[in-house]
Amino acid sequence: MKKIFMYALTAMVAMLAASCTSCHRTDPVDNGLNYDSVVIADYDYIASQYNDFKYYETDVEYDTILCIEGTPVINYIKNVYQYKDTCIQIEHWKDGKTDTTIVNDYWLECMPMNARNAVNYDSCMNIIASQRGSLRTRAMTFRRVLAPPFPENGQYIFGVGILVVDSKTGEIIDWNDEAKESGLKCQTE
């Protein structure tokens, strides 16, 4: 009986020690927001509320510029939807705060797209891993720009077009080359 009690006591102490290792952590882990989870959850929520809506844009803000080594932490995500003449913006902060803004107006400069894509956020970050050293920006936007050459798919746009990734093919797109091919010219040319 004494041996059983000692085994049980040892097992309880081991479980308590294992479950409390996180209590002794000195370096807090901050993973920020999960892009795909937040975007898809908002998309599904809007789909459950409105039968004919459009998903137009997602804006992301990181905790630091992307050229710094390590896994980028997402501090903020804003998703933009349109239902008839109503623009719905859902904002998320990494501290858990969420806010929804509804405006009776139209969102301009974007074409509709889907939140579920062949190239998800993690895949996109793997695609650009070798180029992150040149990304001196804290911003990423996911959208289909309403401008020539009119992309067929949503695009992950880092900064103001510093780096662009197609969400269906994973291809890195150079907006400058596309503009040249489409016949667009700078005003100085």
Is the backbone peptide bond immediately before 112 cis, with ω within 30 degrees of 0?
no
Q: What is the mean pLDDT of residues 102-126?
A: 95
pLDDT digits (tens, 9 = 90+) for 26-78: 334 568 999 999 999 999 999 999 999 999 999 999 999 999 999 999 999 99
Q: What is the pTM of this model?
A: 0.77
Q: How confident is the model at residue 6 (pLDDT cuts 50, 70, 90)?
A: very low
What pLDDT score does 83 carry?
97
